[in-house]
Amino acid sequence: MTATTTTPSMTFELNDEQRALRDTIREFAESEIAPHAGEWDEQHVFPTDTIRQLGELGAMGIAFPEEYGGLGAGAVAQAVVVEELARIDSSVAVTVGANVSLGGEPLLLFGTEEQKQRWLVPLARGEHLGAFASTEPGVGSDVQAATTTARPEGDGWVVNGTKAFITNAGNDLSAFVIITAKTPPADGGSALSTVIVPIGTPGYEPQKPYRKLGWHASDTRELVFHDCRIGGDAVLGPLGKGARVFLTTLDGGRVGIAAMSVGLAQGALEQAMAYAKERVAFGAPIAKLQAIQHKLADLRTQIEAARLLTYRAAALKEAGRPFTEEAAIAKLFASEVAVRAAEENVQIHGGFGYIEESAVPRFYRDAKILTIGEGTSEILKLVIARRMGLAD
């Protein structure tokens, strides 16, 4: 019996290019984001200049082809970048991640050449941000129950409706939002389509940013469309096939949230380890206590498992293979690990973990949304069960 050789793809070791990207983003995050993240969080400030700098570094175009202004480094590299940002600040990470997976990827996969040149190229170059809006008040995960409409009028469309919890749709860098809307098919009734609405279009009314539990420095708001007129070339993908565009976009978004979860969990673990080595109780650092060692060892194990699940989903995506189930598994597991890591970080810090003078409570507040956005844990379990043949 001969021994088999494990291939690099099975070990998920980063290649030289991916490591270089990781190191570049890590250095930037530690030097340019970490010193200001607490202030941005406290004051609910969107860090426009920092996001511009990340665009100049190429963070928005990591996964996009060079012909469309990107670096062509692939989905794994993109996951690594988002992970490194979330290790320091989740608000910045979600701004970049949502811009790429929700704003850019639908254009790459479903856009016409004209749409890609107009919207995707400047997005990949970091010149502006894009958004995707499907969620509506009272609708949640049931995208087919959307009440937003786009009716044909003249040579264009008129949009009416409201979208909720939308990222990157109203700040100074925002350029467009892709929305799901009911359109009339040829045989009557209604079908779901996706259309592109440029920022500043009359009748498009971004509301004030939400006051959120976490992600204070990210731009999240409700969008109102009142007789909003867009061009005939605004439809993204086949008319009436918006559910396909949405579900495909959601798969990519789940990989992004999984990467964010890994990054936040890693950051929380590093904070907890550093404190445990410094905090002295009963004559020795608490890191010497077996109870603390077990907490940290459990987190280390869970984070590594989450990272491997995330890289696997990203690698399948990069290879052009189906990854719906793998994205759901990665996002489900990694997001719950992130919540666990943030909670244990507070627990290990004790009373100091409950005081808003460090990143510890910020990480705790930022973690919970990871089990909700891009599909709740409950929805993800249903997705996985369906893939297992256990549910209709």
Positions annotated as catalytic residues are 374
CA dist 239 and 244 (Å) reads 11
- Helices within 279-319 (DSSP H only): 290-318
Q: At what angle do helices 242-278 and 359-367 cross, to 10 degrees?
A: 150
Given a contact cutoff of 8 angstroms between Cβ atoms, the answer to whether 85 and 25 are in contact is yes
Distances (CA, A) of 126 to 32, 34, 130, 247: 17, 21, 10, 25
Question: Phi, psi at residue 19, to the nearest 5°?
Answer: -65, -40
99: Cα within 13 Å, side-chain hemisphere: 38
Question: Phi, psi at residue 227, to the nearest 5°?
Answer: 50, 50
CA dist 97 and 103 (Å) reads 9
**Three-state secondary structure call for residue 231:** strand
Long-range contacts of 374-381 (CB under 8 A, 24+ apart): 374/250, 374/253, 374/254, 374/256, 374/257, 374/331, 375/141, 375/250, 375/254, 375/328, 375/331, 376/141, 377/332, 377/335, 377/336, 379/141, 380/254, 380/328, 380/329, 380/331, 380/332, 381/332
Distances (CA, A) of 279 to 162, 272, 288, 309, 350: 50, 10, 10, 33, 10
Which residues make beta-bridge pairs with 235? 195
Which token pair is 41? 């969080």
Given a contact cutoff of 8 angstroms between Cβ atoms, the answer to whether 335 and 377 are in contact is yes
CA dist 380 and 347 (Å) reads 28
CA dist 79 and 375 (Å) reads 18
Give the chain's radius of gyration (CA, Å). Answer: 21
Distance, C-alpha 41 to centroid of its chain? 18
Which token pair is 145? 């129950």
